[in-house]
Structure 1
C-alpha cells in the first residue's frame, strides 16, 4: 500500500511540475511575440477625403421659394347692416365686378327715392328762379324795376342754384350707398375665405371674404449674392413643385436692391409662365427654382472644384490638406470663388489627389489620419 501511494504521489508531483513548466513556457512565448504597433492607428485623426470635381453638379444652384398670387385681398363691406344674401362659397371662381354678398337695401332704396324727389324739387325751384331773374334783368334794363328788386332776384337765383347742386349731390350719395351695400369682386379670382353668413351684422371693418388671383402667380425666392449679378430681368429658370415634382417655368421679373446681411441673399420675384406647368399651381406651395444654367455660366465649363469648407483661404490665396500615405501635407493653392459653397482651384492641385473635406480640423504637416466615409 505504501509503495502505491508513493508512486501516485511522485506522478502527481511530476504532473504539477509539468503544468507549472507549461504555464511558464506559454507566458514566455507570449512575451516573446512582437506586439502590434497600434499607437499610430489609434491616434490617427479620422477625416473625410474628397477628390476635386472637374464639373459642378447640375443641382448646385437650387433655391427654395414660395408661390404666391400677384393679387389677393380681404373684402369688407363699405356700409353697415345685416347681410341678406351671400352668393358664393370657398373655392368658387368669380369675375371682376361680380356680386358676392349684399346687405339689407330696403332703407337705402327709400333714401334714393327721397333724394331723387328732393333733387326734382330743387330743379323746379331753380327753373322758377331762372325765369324770375331773367325777367328782373329785362325790367331793370328798361328802368321799370329798381336795383333792389334786381338784387333780390339775383340772390334768389343763386340760392336756387346752390339748393339744386346740394340735392344732386345728395342723390348721388344715396345711389353710392345703395351700391356700397353690395360686396363685389375687385378682380377675377377664387374665393379663399367666407367669414359671414346671412343675417350677420357687418360694418366697414368686418372681414367677409378672402380672394386671390390664381392665374397671375409669382415665386419669391432668396438667391445667393454670388450669382445675383448673373441674373437679370427676363432670365428663365425651371421650377419644381413640392412634393409632386411637377415642373413649371418662371421668368425673373424683379431683383431686390439690397443684400440681406445675415443670409447674404437677394430677394428675387419671378413670374410663372402661363401654359408651362405640368400641374395646377396654388398660392402658398413650396417650390424649387433651378438656376443651374446661370450657375454653369458663372462657374465655367472646366476646372477643379472643391467645397469651400475644404479650403482655408483669404481672398485668392489659401491651402488644403492633401492626404498621402496615411498623413496630411499642407498644400498652398490659388482659388476663385464661383458659387456659394464652392471654389475653383486655379493652381496647386491635381484632379488625382485627395484632400481633407474640412480644412478647419486641427492638423499640421505630417499629422496621421485615417480616411472615414
Structure 2
C-alpha cells in the first residue's frame, strides 16, 4: 500500500515537471514570435572626418589616354589582345589583311630589280665607251703629232730642193687626215656626256624604285597595329572583320600609373573644397576598403541647366597599390576637417520625422525612440551632440511602420568602426 502511494507521488512530480517545461517552451515560442529581428550598430567615440561627398558615383580615368588609329586600309583580321591586357611599347595589338600590301611590295621590288639591271647595263656601256674614246684620242693624238713632224720635215727638204712638190702634197694630206681623225676622237667626248646623263637618269629611277620599296614595306608594316607606348587596353573600338581606314580609331590605351577619379560636387560645397585636400575613395571592386587620394584639380566651370543640380568636377589622385583599372566606378568623399573626441552614430540609424532627427535606441529587448541633436556628418556617420552615449546600440535602417516605442526586437549586432 505504501509502495503504491510512493509510485503515485513520483508520477505526479514527473507530470508536473513535464507540464512546466511544455508551458515554458510555449511561452518562449510565443515571446520569440513577438520579437522583430533588427540589425543594430554601436555609438562610438573618437576621431571623425567631416567630408563633402560627390553627388554621384565617379569614374576612374587616366591622365594619359591614347587612341590608336589605323594607318592603312584593310579588313581587321583579328585582335591579339583583350580589354584589360597590359601591353608593352611596340607590341602587335591587331592584324589587318596584308595580301594587297604584300603584292604592292613584290611589285615594287620587281620594278627596283629591273631598274638596277638597266642601270648596270648603261654603266657598263659608258665604261666601254669611255675606254674606246680614250684609246681613240690617244691614238689620233700620236698620229697627229707624227704627221705634223713629218710635214715640217718635208717642208724643210722642199725649201732646200731635196723634196718634190708631190712629196710635200702627200705630207700635207697625211697631216690633214690625222688632224681630222683627232678632232673626231675629241668630238666623241660629247657622246660620253650624253651617256652620262642617261646613266644619271637611270640612277634616279633606281632611287625612286628604292623609295617605292621602302614605302611598300611601311604600308605592309601598317597592317600590324602596334602599341606606341606601354599601357593597358581599355577599349576595343571596332569589331573583327570590319574595314579599317586611315585615321579610324581601333583601340584605346590608358597609362595605369596615372589614374585618377573624376567626381562631381554640388555647387553648394564649392567654398569648402580646396586643392591638396585629402580624399577617401571607395571602389566596388574592393568592398569594405577605403583608398587614399588627394584633390589636384578643380574645374573652374559649374555645369547644369535650370532644372538640373548645378555641379563642378574635381580630379582626385589615387594612392593605392591595388590593381585599379580605368572605367571602374568609385565613390569619393573629400575631407574638409576633422573632429577630435567626437561621438558619432552610423548614418543608417538616423531618421527624420517632422524636422527632428531620431534613432531607435535598443534597451534590453525593446526599442525606444530617442531624439538626437546632430552635428556634422560624412558618408557613413553622423556626429551626435546630445541624446546618445558611446556604447549605446541603435537600430540600422529602422522601419518605423513596424517598429514603435517599446517594440520587442531580436538584435543582430553589427561591429562598429572609425568615424572615417
Higher share of residues assigned helix: 2
Computing the radius of gyration from Cα coordinates, the structure with the larger value is 2
Of the two structures, which has the highest relative contact order with CA contacts closer than 8 Å and spacing of 6 or more?
2
